[in-house]
């Protein structure tokens, strides 16, 4: 075997080894990406709990407060915030930006929505509470966020929210912010609606 044949063989073996190493690294990268994607939701929930972002409220109605003895010695400020999804054409705002509430008592607030899409549209609100630790104490008896709403072109609605804050809300929390993001679901409107 000549020296050039030996060099060709070692070069071929070196290229094979490099290809195997690269293939192994790419497989590990693929497995890592799959694992990261799989863990994304639990990681997101942990980050939200730590930072206080995206406090999730229940998406089902609850009954009225269980006790009659509201914590009269305490007031909590509830702030109402509205956000419109950037790709949607809506006017969406609370009729009141804040209110003082006594934990254990139910209150009514409302949001006003106007369809500016230039066509009939279906909208939906997604709630969030901050700080996130207050979300489990914030209960909705009635909420427009439970279902989507149909609007005719230029349609306007005032949508009610009936809520209460549980009496065992930690005393360190004196302000709760309820935020709704409103977006166009893209669903077709079932029937022609008159302005509400």
Q: Mind listing the pLDDT tens digit for each residue in 79-137?
A: 999 998 777 788 999 999 999 999 999 999 999 999 988 889 898 998 999 998 898 89
By three-state DSSP, how is residue 123 classified?
strand
- CA dist., res. 157 & res. 154, Å (int): 10
- CA dist., res. 58 & res. 136, Å (int): 8
Q: Which CATH superfamily is domain 76-184 in?
A: Ctag/Cox11 (2.60.370.10)
Structure tokens at 167: 């009496």
Q: Mind listing the pLDDT tens digit for each residue in 5-52?
A: 666 677 788 788 888 899 999 999 888 888 777 777 777 666 655 554
Structure tokens at 20: 């195997």
pLDDT band for 195, please (50, 70, 90 cuts): very low
pTM of the predicted structure, to 2 decimals: 0.64
Domain boundaries, the chain: 1-51, 76-184
- CA dist., res. 85 & res. 158, Å (int): 19
């Amino acid at each position: 075997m000549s020296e050039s044949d030996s060099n060709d063989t070692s070069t071929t073996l070196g290229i094979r080894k490099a290809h195997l190493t690269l293939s192994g690294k790419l497989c590990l990268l693929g497995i890592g990406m799959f694992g990261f994607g799989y863990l994304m939701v639990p990681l997101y929930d942990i980050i939200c709990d730590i930072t206080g972002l995206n406090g999730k409220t229940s998406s089902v109605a609850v009954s009225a407060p269980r006790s009659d003895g509201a914590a009269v010695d305490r007031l909590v400020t509830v702030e109402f915030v509205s956000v419109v999804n950037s790709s949607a054409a809506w006017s969406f705002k609370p009729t009141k930006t804040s209110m003082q509430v006594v934990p254990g008592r139910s209150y009514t607030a409302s949001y006003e929505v106007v369809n500016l899409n230039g066509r009939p549209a279906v909208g939906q609100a997604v709630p969030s509470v901050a700080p996130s630790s207050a979300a489990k104490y914030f209960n909705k008896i009635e909420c427009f966020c439970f279902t989507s709403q149909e609007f005719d072109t230029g349609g306007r609605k005032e949508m009610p929210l009936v809520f209460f804050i549980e009496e065992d809300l930690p005393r360190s929390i004196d302000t709760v912010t309820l935020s709704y993001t409103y977006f166009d679901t893209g669903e077709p409107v079932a029937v022609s609606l008159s302005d509400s």
